[in-house]
Structure 1
């Protein structure tokens, strides 16, 4: 496995892959990898012969009062995990390499999709995401890229960006990886205290309860959303939003495909999750 930390080395690597005729799939990450991240490589492997992961804690997607400074940096462990999983290369630049002219740079904004849900709660967050992903796509020039479906809104935003800007990258989602008790795997789960960790699975349990209500014929969407928010408050969450939407994040169409999306704080930790269903 090759470790690439500057742009010239990355471009030389990419040219060699292009000359070989091998397709390249990119898995962008912020490091501190858990098994859910490693599982993204399985989807990537289905779409390309060569896998490259990126590791970069992107300051542009953190707000002024968020956890950028304390976000775990575990490069050595991450490299070992990626090597074991059969990843052929890792692009792990520092901030000066990716943003040589500072953080006040040209940014990519996806309107509407980037301004709702997590975008409303974390202004500017998705501009940071789309900006760094567009940079990575430009530098790595992958044929395919894989993102986890836990960040469902992020996945839809990246797909919209690729569509609108005619980027020649096939974007694929990978199903949510969960702990045995249902909690979606996330690097931020380690922030939870033992008591909070015991409560955290109730986030997904609430989504499952709402899904069962919808399958049983519940059709009052606002009432179900309110019911879900109250259940989260009763379980000691501070819910940010809970919405029942279409899979395109537009208004729900019943009968049809639905998506339940949620963000909630448990103590100082912000958790997100979602569940898709058909009714």
Structure 2
């Protein structure tokens, strides 16, 4: 049975009862509009914990674009049905008033250079909003482990910083990106693509995999990056916002392969009105 909990008090009572029985808690925070990627996170939690809690909350604090917040899909009934089918023990669906009783949060986070690049550069305030809501949820759920998709690579790194800095004592588990059969990274935003755009969207991952192939065959970082930029420039449909090759640990751009033990290629591009992100490990 999957419990639907709508208030922080209900959630805390549920958690207290399970912890009193010595049960471990796994947590999957989401903004709803669930897809197989989210369910993969829930299944990972089910395998590794006695109890799995998922949250569904479209967090206004992490949107710097009012239209993006307004258009974000909300599918509560479908979300709870999907989570029930994979055996999620509880779904926490709070109201904005529950999470932000003062309406506008006064708490603030600065994650340093890790948030000044890529997503942070183009979405000012985004990671402050992520930090606020995740810290609130971590305090309410007190999980042993929390699960996040590697598709949001920078977000995962930021949350690891958050958990370490605030001494939450929570294991942050990154789960590999789940993709459609044509390579497109699963995302709640994909449902906003037109049929024609949906046929074009996998080109993002195709370009990334070609970059990985070039890197493995010995191309310089400069050549790999220039090749990617040329391919996006040739696309009439994809409007590149950024492409960076970064140190996978610090998230800072690198100029040569020897600058980092792990190099990650990260991209954001608009396809019509829909902003898509993806990433791939190059080294």
How far apart are residue 101 of structure 1 and its match? 1.2
Q: 2:263 aligned with 1:258, yes or no?
A: yes
Deviations, residues 26-79 of structure 1 (Å, cap 9, x unaligned)? 100000101111111122123311000000000001113441112111111100
Counterpart for residue 224 of structure 2: 224
On the 8 A contact 1:2/1:88 being kept in 2, the answer is: yes
Partner of 2:274: 269
Equivalent position SS for 2:267: strand
Q: Is contact 1:36-1:176 (8 Å) kept?
A: yes
1:64 aligns with 2:69: no
Residue 189 of structure 1 corresponds to 190
SS at match of 1:102: coil
Distance in 2 between residues matched to 1:19 and 1:223, nearest whole Å: 57
The Cα shift of 1:227 comes to 2.1
Q: 1:190: Cα distance to partner? A: 1.1
Compute the displacement of 1:240 (Å).
1.1
TM-align CA RMSD: 1.4
Q: Give the match's secondary structure for 2:164.
A: helix
**Structure 1 portions without partners, runs of 5+:** none
* 1:142 match: secondary structure: coil
Q: Distance in 1 between matches of 2:207 and 2:261?
A: 21
SS at match of 2:68: coil
Q: Is the 8 A contact 1:246 1:253 kept in 2?
A: no
Tell me by how many angstroms 1:183 deviates. Answer: 0.3
Whole-angstrom distance in 2 between the partners of 1:86 and 1:71: 26
Contact kept in structure 1, 2:46 and 2:88, CA below 8 Å: no
Q: Secondary structure at the match of 1:183?
A: coil
Q: Does 1:158 align with 2:159?
A: yes
Match of 1:77 in 2: 78
Map 1:17-166; keep pairs closer than 5 Å.
17-166=18-167
Distance 1:224 1:256 in 2: 17
Alpha-carbon distance between aligned partners in 2 of 1:243 and 1:64, rounded to the nearest angstrom = 23
The separation in 2 between residues aligned to 1:14 and 1:228, in whole angstroms, is 47
1:172 Cα deviation after fit: 0.2
User: 2:234 maps to what in 1?
Assistant: 234
Cα gap change, 1:174/1:163 in structure 2, threshold over 3 Å: closer, same or farther?
A: same
Instruction: Extract unaligned runs of 5+ from structure 2.
Output: none
Q: What is the TM-score normalised by the length of structure 2?
A: 0.94
Contact 1:261 1:275 in 2 (8 A): yes
